[in-house]
Chains A and B, each alone.
Chain A
Amino acid sequence: MSDLNQLESETLGAIAAAADEAALEAVRVGALGKKGSVSALLATLGKMSPDERKSAGAAINALKDKVGEALGARRSVLKEAALEARLASETVDVTLPVRENALERGRIHPISQVMDELTAIFADMGFSIAEGPDVESDDYNFTKLNFPAGHPAREMHDTFFFNPDASGERKLLRTHTSPVQVRTMLANKPPIRVICPGRTYRCDSDQTHTPMFHQVEGLVIDKGAHLGHLKWILEEFCKAFFEVPNVKMRFRPSFFPFTEPSMEVDIQCRRSGGEIRFGEGEDWLEILGCGMVHPNVLRNCGVDPDEYQGFAWGMGIDRIAMLKYGMPDLRPFFEADVRWLQHYGFRPLDLPTLAGGLSGA
């Protein structure tokens, strides 16, 4: 029996001493393998008398079970330790920076963003979007819009001209988006509701003017469309665009060759320290020009001014972007300085919707 005890203590000792799974496996093979010490004892049972077998068998099997259990327990411990060791060895410095995601780096230019905002608002009011070429004819840019040849109003536009072509026609860069009105009326029967956003050009360059800028024009031609409707549309637009519950607007009579009556519109605001807030304050800021489409323009575009009437308005996209988002100067819009673009640009997925709020704020 003392042999058995000794074997037990030796085997259990070896199990406890096994430093890793390989060593433990060696102990297992040494004890329970085909030629193992415990297996060898079991093999002796067959030669024993039934009585001997009964007592020795129980003891040997008990030993086998004990060893088996000890092996299992030790294996668990070792496995756990090995996992711990592996995990420890796999530790990394999680404070290392990952590469900036493309969605973090990418930017949408404020002009594009504002055009998307305009689209969201006016689509909801039932407007579609009309476009026209930047290189225009004198006829569409001026004559059809009731600018008489040689009139000082033409001169105020600081027009970029191309050289006359073989037929003597001199094309120009459109000075406003209004020729798109002409194109829309010539191509479509009333009722018409469009906005015409686009690039416009005037040969003028200083702190507040750039030779290229962006305008959005609105045009409504219908049987009953009048100034009161125009006011409502502009008020609703300003509230939606500037994302304020109320705006106060001031309409002033003015002059544009293509509208009659014509008005300029100021919006009430408060300026303080370079910041502008709308819907409050004492200051007036001019934001757009508008009016009833001039009967001559309607006639020039094949619309009977006694049957149909309508209104139009135009404003600077760059300018309303500056007012809403606080850029102090116009020139950097077109300088492509990445610092400016990163700062004033919009994230790729900041898609303006009415449901989600235009600026997502």
Chain B
Amino acid sequence: MKLTLSWLKDHLDTDASLDVIVETLTRIGLEVEGVDDPAKSLKDFVVGYVIEAKQHPNADRLRVCMVDTGAGAPVQVVCGAPNARTGLKSVFSPPGTYIPGKNITLGKGVIRGVESLGMLCSAAELQLSEDHDGIIELPDDAPVGARYVDYAKLADAVIDINLTPNRSDAAGVHGIARDLAAAGLGKLKEHAVRPAPAGFPCPVSVRLDFTADDTHLAPAFALRLVRGVKNGPSPEWMQKRLKAIGLRPINALVDITNYITFDRGRPLHVFDANNVKGDLVVRRARAGETVVALDGKTYELTPENVVIADENGVESIAGVMGGEHSGCDEATTDVLIESALWDPMNIARTGRGLGIVTDARYRFERGVDPAFCVPGAELATHFVLDLCGGQASDLVVVGDTSVTRPTIDFPFTEVKRLTGMELPAGDMVATLEKLGFAVASVTAERAQVTAPSWRPDIEGKADLVEEIVRIAGVDNVASTPFMRAESTVAGAILTPLQKRTRIARRALASQGLVEAVTWSFISADRAKLFGGGKPELSLANPIAAELSDMRPSLVPGLLAAVQRNADRGFGDVALFEVGQVFLGAGEKDQRMAAAAVRRGTAKTSGAGRHWSGKAAGVDVFDAKADAMAMLAALGVSMGGLQVVAGGPSFLHPGRSATLQFGPKNVIGWFGELHPRALEALDVSGPVCAFEVHLDELPAQKPKATRAKPKLDLSEFMPLERDFAFVVDRSVKAADIVRAAQGADKALIAGVEVFDVYEGPGVSDGQKSVAIAVRLQPRDKTLNEAEIEAVASRIVADVSKKTGGTLRG
């Protein structure tokens, strides 16, 4: 919502300065987004007189002008405008002036060898119009040296208010003035509208053609003919105001409707009566009906839309935009003025559906003042008669413009209860009354308050509290300490999953991974590749095709991210993300996942070439190391964790694994990406990844005590024995370890794989796996025979479980 200061003063009797007005508007909830004050922005531009304009010695299209600026000696200016000529009066700006239309600050210059000490300006350079064909031409009587803003009466500041959707009443200058008056900034000029002189019955009738269920779509419609008008340009003062707020003057009749739209928040429409055939019918549009609107575009309508039609068909889209056919132009002699009420929801839907944004729609969908429907028509008639002449018919009003607002039982204590602010009841009543509320049955404790017709947003007590405190100033609410309820040391507040999420992040970053936050939505193809792409997780209105589906996994987003980095020359990248993934659209289908992707040589030990060793590519064991480090940091008991070879189809089948606590409790996977998946994703390798769902991790059992179990130390020396087994290549090292461990659970404290070998000395299809077994005697030192016995059991058990033989 834009208005000018002079326009505001038409409605508000005030001495307040622009600064005070602007500050007050923001303070009472009409946030000022910007103020364009030409008195400030154009203060340096003065009327200048071109004493002499000569051809520039070195440039055909430039002239050297001597300009009288009204101060001191004439100034030399090099000017390129075709109309720069001797004897012209124009607008001059000295060096140091900010030129708004060019966004530069003018300096002294030498142009093609000739000094230039200022500029003669076009209207575009002052941002007064689009006209940049030449410099401004002023009449001969323009006073040289005068400030141009004063001379041209441009010094009317434009205030731009960011209106909140509840305040339809402030979509007109009058409503804004009312708020300022309530805030103590002067007195509202009421401007009551009297009926216009009418001389004959309106020859066009109106019918509201709706079923009983639909009457809310068009509660009221007022219409009047004014015949014998002369439509031309509107007066300069009106054009100036319309231009100042960014509207293009069209002709007097149209400008009047636009003016009242902004002056009173009351949109109107004018029809050229000679292009209206028969009577007007207000009804739902018929499916497939079309109309060419005032913007020149053809709109196809549906029964959702309400229209005003005549025997020709649709003449106007109700409350949104008029039709071109019956629009008013310079040839219009008879005009029909419409002032109507529409259903806000319906107007919003129609505007949205047709994609039309107009000042009328803006107001109707927020709710206009029903009580101003008829006065709006009368006000428009006055303007038409004043500016275009003619004779007005009687006003036809169909429907009902009456309005009922609920009466609110308002205890004055409500203000203190909700805001902590203590205000005298009398002040509260005064504020409400200045805002137009009817306050009745006032006692010391309470009052019965009825909102004015222009405030459809007021529903209850809380709304009245807002009205009172916004005028009293929310900045005056005193800050009041709000302590924790218990006067104790603060307890833990994070849920187990919240704790896991935080620890997982720190653990993965400690692995040298860099945290990324990627979009929650990915392309349908990528989603499908990672097990997603369900129709219920596909957006109906994605912002881009590659952001259409909710991600089933963090990995596709991370893969795309590592590839983007690689394309920028950073190929050795290790990224992780901890965030939500979506298995379905249900409430319980969202999971908190942790995933990491490594590319190139970004191994856990470090990335890139290094003098201490070769730069190897990332592999499945880097992914496993990341997963295991995170699980360890989360305190997950590794005893029951199974690493099962093979994983989802996007992974290398021989270099991937599923992480699970039993087949029904899969927590994630790790591995190298399948070459086919990489190709489909347009990612170049080597790439490894892991992903774990943090929600699926077993819960830690609550314990009665924080004390750790007793430390059990043996006083006997541990000893270590090495074994190498030759087994089939397919035998899992984990099975060998488990078999060895099982040989004597009491005595064997640990088993480590320290060598795996395939090659000469070991038959094809077989491998040698060397393990170190650590024996921890508990109650005595072992003798050779006892050690030998354990060793034999280990060999026997491993052979039995894996078919391996001790390597000779």
Contacts and interface: CB of A to CB of B under 8 A. Distances in A.
A110 B482 CA distance: 29
Contacts of B365: 152
A128 B516 CA distance: 26
B182 to A, nearest CB: 13
B537 A150 contact: no
A11 interface: no
A262 interface: yes
B707 interface: no
Contact of B514 (A99, A105, A131): A105
A64 B465 CA distance: 114
Nearest to A135: B585
Which of B479, B573, B590 is packed against the most chain A CB atoms within 10 Å? B479
A252 B509 contact: no
B590 A205 contact: no
A246 interface: no
Contacts of A242: none
A254 interface: yes
B309 to A, nearest CB: 24
A106 B420 CA distance: 48
B164 interface: yes
A119 interface: yes
Contacts of A235: 479
A17 interface: no
Interface string A90-104: 000000110111111
Contact of B512 (A105, A119, A191, A226): A105
A134 B520 contact: yes
A228 interface: yes
Nearest to B467: A261
Nearest to B494: A129
Contacts of A292: 418-419, 462, 465
A205 B539 CA distance: 16
B342 to A, nearest CB: 13
A226 B164 contact: no
Contacts of A260: 462-463, 465-466
Given A111-B517, A261-B469, A349-B506, A150 B348 contact: yes
Interface string B463-488: 10110011000110111111111100
Nearest to B362: A152
A351 B506 contact: yes
Contact of A255 (B166, B484, B493): B166
B31 interface: yes
A337 B514 contact: no
A203 B605 CA distance: 41
Interface stretch (B52-60, B562-570, B675-683, B684-692): B562-570
B736 to A, nearest CB: 30
A253 B564 CA distance: 45
B664 interface: no
Contacts of B419: 226-228, 261, 292
Given A228-B480, A261-B462, A124 B490 contact: yes
B202 interface: no
Interface string A249-268: 01111110000111110000
B518 interface: yes
Contacts of B561: 335-336
A101 B418 CA distance: 55
The B interface, classified by DSSP as helix, strand, loop or mixed, is mixed
A303 interface: no
B27 A135 contact: no
B348 A134 contact: no
A252 B29 contact: yes
Interface stretch (A49-57, A71-79, A158-166, A275-283): A158-166
Interface in B546-591: 547, 550, 558, 561, 564-565, 568, 570, 573-575, 578-580, 582, 585, 587, 589-590
B476 to A, nearest CB: 9
B482 A225 contact: yes
A253 B28 contact: yes
A173 to B, nearest CB: 8
Interface in B497-522: 498, 502, 505-506, 508-521
A255 B482 contact: no
B465 A261 contact: yes
Interface string A4-40: 0000000000000000000000000000000000000
A181 to B, nearest CB: 16
A339 B570 contact: yes
B366 interface: yes
A251 B485 contact: no
B482 A107 contact: no
A319 interface: no
A205 B515 contact: no
B421 A227 contact: yes
A345 interface: yes
Which of A96, A106, A111, A153 is packed against the most chain B CB atoms within 10 Å? A106
B700 interface: no
A231 B165 contact: no
Contacts of A309: 417-418
B52 to A, nearest CB: 45
Interface stretch (B376-384, B606-614, B643-651): B606-614
A96 B394 CA distance: 99
A109 interface: yes
A212 B543 CA distance: 11
Contacts of A329: none
5 contacts: A151-B345, A203-B542, A261-B418, A295-B462, A338-B570
Given A126-B486, A231-B478, 8 more contacts: A99-B605, A100-B512, A105-B512, A107-B514, A151-B348, A260-B462, A261-B470, A295-B461
Interface of A: 96-97, 99-109, 111-112, 116, 119, 123-129, 131, 133-135, 149-153, 155-156, 160-163, 165, 170-171, 173, 191, 193, 199, 201, 203-205, 211-212, 220, 225-229, 231-233, 235, 250-255, 260-264, 292, 294-296, 305, 309, 333-339, 341-342, 345, 347-349, 351
